[in-house]
Amino acid sequence: MLKVGEDYIINEQGLMVFTRQYHLNRGYCCKNQCLNCPWDYKKKLKEGYQNDNQSK
Protein backbone atom coordinates (compact mmCIF):
# COMPACT_ATOMS: atom_id res chain seq x y z
CA MET A 1 0.00 0.00 0.00
CA LEU A 2 1.44 3.39 -1.01
CA LYS A 3 1.65 6.09 1.66
CA VAL A 4 1.15 9.81 1.06
CA GLY A 5 4.34 11.74 1.87
CA GLU A 6 6.48 8.63 1.90
CA ASP A 7 5.87 7.08 -1.52
CA TYR A 8 4.16 9.97 -3.28
CA ILE A 9 2.89 13.51 -2.94
CA ILE A 10 0.01 15.35 -4.56
CA ASN A 11 1.32 18.43 -6.40
CA GLU A 12 -0.41 21.80 -6.91
CA GLN A 13 -2.12 20.52 -10.07
CA GLY A 14 -3.61 17.56 -8.14
CA LEU A 15 -1.29 15.00 -9.75
CA MET A 16 0.39 12.15 -7.90
CA VAL A 17 4.19 12.45 -7.97
CA PHE A 18 6.35 9.56 -6.77
CA THR A 19 9.09 10.43 -4.27
CA ARG A 20 12.78 9.71 -4.63
CA GLN A 21 12.43 7.09 -1.87
CA TYR A 22 9.68 5.29 -3.81
CA HIS A 23 11.95 5.05 -6.86
CA LEU A 24 14.87 3.78 -4.77
CA ASN A 25 12.64 1.13 -3.16
CA ARG A 26 11.47 0.05 -6.63
CA GLY A 27 15.12 -0.47 -7.53
CA TYR A 28 15.31 0.47 -11.21
CA CYS A 29 14.82 3.36 -13.61
CA CYS A 30 11.68 3.20 -15.78
CA LYS A 31 13.14 5.81 -18.18
CA ASN A 32 9.98 7.96 -18.10
CA GLN A 33 11.88 11.10 -17.02
CA CYS A 34 10.27 11.08 -13.55
CA LEU A 35 10.53 14.32 -11.58
CA ASN A 36 12.27 12.68 -8.60
CA CYS A 37 14.38 10.12 -10.47
CA PRO A 38 17.37 9.14 -8.28
CA TRP A 39 19.21 7.96 -11.39
CA ASP A 40 18.93 11.39 -13.09
CA TYR A 41 17.63 9.82 -16.30
CA LYS A 42 16.30 13.16 -17.57
CA LYS A 43 19.71 14.79 -17.08
CA LYS A 44 21.55 11.89 -18.76
CA LEU A 45 19.10 11.96 -21.66
CA LYS A 46 19.65 15.70 -22.12
CA GLU A 47 23.45 15.26 -22.00
CA GLY A 48 23.18 12.48 -24.60
CA TYR A 49 21.30 14.79 -26.97
CA GLN A 50 23.95 17.49 -26.52
CA ASN A 51 26.69 15.00 -27.34
CA ASP A 52 24.80 13.79 -30.44
CA ASN A 53 24.29 17.36 -31.67
CA GLN A 54 27.95 18.27 -31.21
CA SER A 55 29.12 15.39 -33.40
CA LYS A 56 27.07 16.55 -36.43
Is 46 a member of any domain? yes
pLDDT (tens digit per residue) in 2-51: 999 999 999 999 999 999 999 999 999 999 989 999 998 877 777 776 65
How many domains does the structure of the chain reveal? 1
Domain presence at residue 48:
yes
Q: Does residue 15 lie in a domain region?
A: yes
- Phi, psi (5° rounding) for residue 54? -70, -25
21 located within any domain: yes
Amino acid of residue 22: Y
Nearest C-alpha neighbor of 35 from the set 53, 3, 2, 12: 12
Give 1-56 as a DSSP string: ---BTTTEEE-TTS-EEE-HHHHHHHTS--SS--TT-TT-HHHHHHHHHHHHHHT-
Residue 18 lies in a domain: yes
In-domain check, residue 2: no
Query: Predicted confidence band at 56 (pLDDT cuts at 50, 70, 90)?
Result: very low
